[in-house]
Amino acid sequence: FLAVAFGSPLRGSLVIANAFLLASLIVIAAVGKRALESFERTTFTQVARERTLRAEAEHKLCRATSSAAGSMPVAQENAEVDLVSAPTTTPTGKLFTISGSDGPEALKQQLQAMADIGTQEHWLVRSEDLLPVPGRLCDGGSFGVVMLALYKGAEVVLKAARTAHEIPQASALPAMASELRIFRRLRHPGIVLFYGACVDPESSEIVLVLEYVRGKPLGDAIQ
Mean pLDDT computed over 96-110: 80
> DSSP letter string over the chain?
-HHHHTT-SS-HHHHHHHHHHHHHHHHHHHHHHHHHHHHHHHHHHHHHHHHHHHHHHHHHHHHHHHHHHHTS-HHHHHHHHHHHHSGGGSHHHHHT---TTS-HHHHHHHHHHHHHHHHHHT-B--GGGEEEEEEEEEEE-SSEEEEEEEETTEEEEEEEEPPTTTS-HHHHHHHHHHHHHHHTT---TTS--EEEEEEETTTTEEEEEEE---SS-HHHHH-
Q: Give 147-181 pLDDT, tens digit per residue.
A: 899 998 888 999 987 654 444 455 678 888 888 98
pLDDT of residue 196: 93
- Give the residue with greater pLDDT, 172 vs 125: 125
Looking at every residue in the chain, the average pLDDT score rounds to 75
Residue 96 pLDDT level (bands cut at 50, 70, 90): confident
pLDDT of residue 43: 80
Work out the burial of residue 7: count CB atoms within 10 Å of its CB; fewer than 13 is exposed, 13-18 middle, 19 or more buried. exposed
Q: What percent of the chain has pLDDT over 70?
A: 67
Q: Rounded CA gap, 130 and 176, in Å?
A: 18
pTM for the full model?
Answer: 0.57
In angstroms, the Cα distances linking 130 to 7, 8, 188 are: 58, 54, 24
Mean pLDDT computed over 12-19: 75
- In this predicted structure, which of 29-38, 81-90, 97-106 has the lowest mean pLDDT? 81-90
